[in-house]
Structure 1
């Protein structure tokens, strides 16, 4: 079954491919494979288990500014113990990446995420990981191995994922969100984020007035 994505996306399916150019008025996707009609995304997130697991399928969604859902509202703790709120990054384009260390696509995309983090740092783009499974030691070992320098939320309790339940299917890892300067989800990648695709999505969000 197909479930309608939030934000009333503008058109039909686009596959995620390296180097794809997505305009500000690009298409959005219907996610293939969803929970049963009585299982909302939020209910599954609260359950914190793997019931009705939804795997990322590599699809890309981009939303026109006038169709975007309300701004993301979340607060959580990074692995270093500091508290971060979505209010802290208002005015900046922000990239949120859901991951855990044993996730094969997460390991593959990590160097590209870090490269984009460095490339867009001077533009004020903020990158945050959302780790849904690991201990601090495991997360730190992953970061050393793949050279990621941006901070990650410790989301073992599922609080961040719950706050993003309208945008991220529970346990769909990896998932990457691009937030506009108002904190609204401008684009989403379910599954492996190809570098060229994600770069185009970030650039589009930056180009908005």
Structure 2
């Protein structure tokens, strides 16, 4: 085999590997509303909702953070990374979700997958996020989620937790306020 053929094969392998990596941080064009025709959103009926482990660790700001601190609230756990394009696109929507329903008891909790805390902090600052993000560079917290709930290898993903700490819905890919409106409104007190 010639050096040129080996170089060409390596180049093809590198392009293929890059495509696989980039596909993990992508999502189809989001629909405007979650519903029966939305294959990226899954809802769970009351009484059939899986419980979530008490995710805990340190926030990007260095503060202790635990999911159980939000018991009695509706919580959106959103997994993201600063290098993920769809994560960047959905950040303003998550800020809007917190602002829209925060006074009714909804809390957003990020799950940052950046290996560098400074990259996560820069993302948080650039997007003016008003909610904490648990720094999870090794993915240990994500692995504590119920098996099969979401694909933790693909970002972003969002998990809606009801007031009892159980999963009411999941969303793979970028999320919008409109997609979650019906789900969240049904969980929040009037």
- Does TM-score exceed 0.5, indicating one fold? yes
Deviation at 1:104, TM superposition (A): 0.6
Structure 1 contact 28–62 (Cα < 8 Å) conserved? no
Deviation at 1:201, TM superposition (A): 1.9
Q: Which has the higher helix share?
A: 2
Distance 1:128 1:113 in 2: 10
Aligned pairs for 1:186-201 within 5 A: 186-201=168-183
The C-alpha deviation readout for 1:106-133, integer Å capped at 9, x for no partner, is: 0100001101111111012111110112
Structure 1 contact 96–176 (Cα < 8 Å) conserved? yes
| Equivalent position of 1:142 in the other structure | 123
Is residue 72 from structure 1 mapped to residue 86 from structure 2 by the alignment? no
Moved more, 161-170 or 91-100: 161-170
Q: TM-score, normalised by structure 1?
A: 0.70
SS of corresponding position for 2:174:
coil
Distance 1:17 1:27 in 2: 9
Q: What is the count of residue pairs matched by the alignment?
A: 161
Structure 1 runs of 4+ aligned residues shifted over 3 Å read: 26-29
Structure 2: unaligned runs, 5 residues or longer? 1-28
Distance 1:186 1:27, change over 3 A: farther
| Equivalent position of 2:26 in the other structure | none
Q: TM-score, normalised by structure 2?
A: 0.76
Distance 2:103 2:189 in 1: 14
Name the Cα RMSD after superposition.
Answer: 2.2
Distance 1:187 1:91, change over 3 A: same
| Equivalent position of 1:177 in the other structure | 159
Distance 1:151 1:205 in 2: 21
Distance 1:179 1:205 in 2: 9
Distance 2:105 2:51 in 1: 22
Aligned pairs for 1:1-209 within 5 A: 17-20=31-34, 22=35, 59-166=40-147, 167-206=149-188
Structure 1: unaligned runs, 5 residues or longer? 1-14, 30-58
